[in-house]
Amino acid sequence: MIDLWDPAAAGVLRLPSGRLVRGRGLRHPLPEGPVPAFGVYLLSKRPPAVGWEARWVRWPDFWLPSDRPDASAALREAWERAATERVEVACGGGVGRTGTALACLAVLDGVPGGEAVAYVRAHYRPGAVETPWQRRFVTRFPGETPADA
């Protein structure tokens, strides 16, 4: 097992289970310190290559994922891997899409969908999850599961 994130580091969210996930904005420089083992990148266009394992989820700014089952699978993988690895979730600014994805991870971790946005705003960033449809997406997550697809 590798070292996990420093819980006091910028952008690190501690989920109720103790899993640590870093949220960040890709328009900002890579933070000092260790790099992720796995990243989920939420962008409308394919992100640049990184030196660690990564998944791209096509997700336009201020909107919802273009392929919801793919997004759900990527977030489930991130949640599972966060138990033993450094995982980060990032979009352009690190607020709307990243906050929405982190709130979905909180749902996977046992936070009720109706409370997950507040949880992320309290423990990650006050303005996280920017639009009404992003908030609604969290309350309905996980929605379609791989078994339903």
Question: Which residue matches tokens 């949220």?
Answer: 23
The answer to whether residues 128 and 103 touch, using CB atoms and an 8 Å cutoff, is yes
Question: What mean pLDDT do residues 29-45 have?
Answer: 95
Side-chain-side CA neighbours of residue 111 (13 Å):
22
Q: Where are the domains of the chain?
A: 17-28+35-138
Average pLDDT, the chain: 92
Please, what is the angle between helix 113-123 and helix 96-108, to 10°?
120
pLDDT tens digit sequence for 83-110: 999 999 999 999 999 999 999 999 999 9
Written as six digits, the tokens of 123 are 């423990």
- On the question of pLDDT at 39 being above 50, the answer is yes
SS (H, E, C) 2-15: CCCCCCCCCCEEEC
Please give the CATH number for the structural domain made up of 17-28+35-138. 3.90.190.10
| R_g of the chain, CA atoms, integer Å | 14
- Alpha carbons 126 and 119: distance in angstroms, whole number: 10
- On the question of pLDDT at 10 being above 80, the answer is yes
The answer to whether residues 97 and 61 touch, using CB atoms and an 8 Å cutoff, is yes
pLDDT score at 146: 40
pLDDT above 90 coverage of the chain, percent? 91
Burial (CB < 10 A; 0-12, 13-18, 19+), residue 121, is middle
- On the question of pLDDT at 1 being above 80, the answer is no
Question: What mean pLDDT do residues 66-86 have?
Answer: 96
